[in-house]
Amino acid sequence: MIGGVIWAQLNYKKALGGTLTYGQGVASGVLALTFAMLISSIYTFVLFKFIDPSLNEQLRIFTEEQIIKQGRVPEEQMEMAVNMATKFQTPTMMLIMGVFGGAFIGLIISLITSIFIKKNPSDEVPA
């Protein structure tokens, strides 16, 4: 993800003639990662909803095994914990969380990488 954001920012900087403000860097990074996560989330949605719906059950079983392995949840609350986790593992929720999660991660990465990639037009030395 970091490499993709940096690549998008550098290409945008090149397209702008070698200058890129901090805000433009952040915006291009967030948009690039949001777009990539949108495509990935749509694929995941189609996979879980239409191509192989049995993946939902496999994911539920895996989640239950992981909760048991951690051993933090008492036996009486096990079903409630699995049901709560399963609510967030529906194809629709994965799509929504993927897009918004990608935008948030893109923002964090872009805020950091833009510091190093930016080159304001006023930073150029006149010839």
- At 33-47, the pLDDT tens digits run 999 999 999 999 999
Tens-digit pLDDT profile for residues 13-36? 999 999 999 999 999 999 999 999
Size of the chain, expressed as the number of residues it contains = 127
| Rounded mean pLDDT, 50-73 | 90
Tens-digit pLDDT profile for residues 74-85? 878 888 888 888
